[in-house]
Amino acid sequence: MFKNVIVKRPSRSMVNGITSAPELGKPDYELALKQHDDYIQALKSCNVEVTVLEADERFPDSCFVEDTAVITKNCAIICNPGADSRNKEIEDMKETIKKFFSEDKIEYITSPGTVEGGDVMMVGNHFYIGKSFRTNEEGARQFIEKLEKYGYTGSIVTLEEVLHLKTGLAYLENNNLLVAGEFIDKEDFKNFNKIVISQDDSYSANCIWVNDNVIVPYGYNKTKRAIEQAGYNVIEVDTSEYRKLDGGLSCLSLRF
């Protein structure tokens, strides 16, 4: 069960964030703020303590805190983002994580290795690390090495289509895995109970499990019904403005 969540308020500069889908238009900042408020309320309804960090205008993508670190029960691993414009986001996150972990329980990915937290999926004591445009093989190797110090294991999954591993996957506990696109038939995930998301609704594969609730993006009724049929309580949150920056529900928080 999760006890804590860290989020960071979106900055006005988010309208200049990284995107692979400029055709969706620039984010509406005021609407993004409202959606972030709703996101925080959804998290709080799942009985977690939410730490809210102030916006940082220097970094347009800094509301996507998931990419800065991976937090486990026994340690925190500070990432080394593969996007140059995002690399210094980790400085503030280091100080925040020190409020929860002593220095000897904080690990660091170092260059030439790169890792972004969106490429890391935790399944019990095993971690899947996506090798992507943002997470390289050296970074994944370092990440697994850090995990093993604390009794965890890790394996590398090569991505072919999506930006991050969790763009197309969401682990819902109890061996249930939401899958879309290239992950539907991937050998790495053959032993999971799969909830398959259609290509049309692939954005909704980025959901988050929080203490037996599943937070899903608003407007994807087929995905919502499939998750409800699997026995979960579903909470919908609109993330339309974050989608314009290649972001989704998992990107906006660190859950531990």
Tokens standing for residue 61: 């993508």
Query: What is the Cα–Cα distance from 143 to 75, expressed in whole angstroms?
Result: 12
| Cα-based angle 210, 86, 96 (whole degrees, multiple of 5) | 50
Instruction: Residue 176: count other Cβ atoms within 10 Å of its Cβ.
Output: 18
Which pLDDT score is estimated for 53? 98
Structure tokens at 219: 């407007």
- CA separation, residue 25 to residues 15, 21, 29, 63 (Å): 9, 8, 12, 18
- Give the model's pLDDT for residue 187: 97
Catalytic residue ranges: 164, 251
Residue range 202-207: mean pLDDT, rounded? 98
Split at pLDDT 50, 70, 90, the class of 169 is: very high
pLDDT tens-digit readout, 18-28: 999 999 999 99
pLDDT band per the 50, 70, 90 thresholds, residue 202: very high
pLDDT of residue 20: 92
Helix H or strand E segment including 3: none
For residue 215, give the 3-state DSSP assignment: strand
pLDDT in tens, 95-131: 999 999 999 999 999 999 999 999 999 999 999 999 9
In 3-state terms, what secondary structure has residue 228? Answer: helix
Q: How many CB atoms lie within 10 A of CB 144?
A: 16
**Polymer length of the chain:** 256
> What is the per-residue pLDDT across 134-150, written as a single tens digit (0 to 9) for each?
999 999 999 999 999 99
Mean pLDDT of the chain: 97
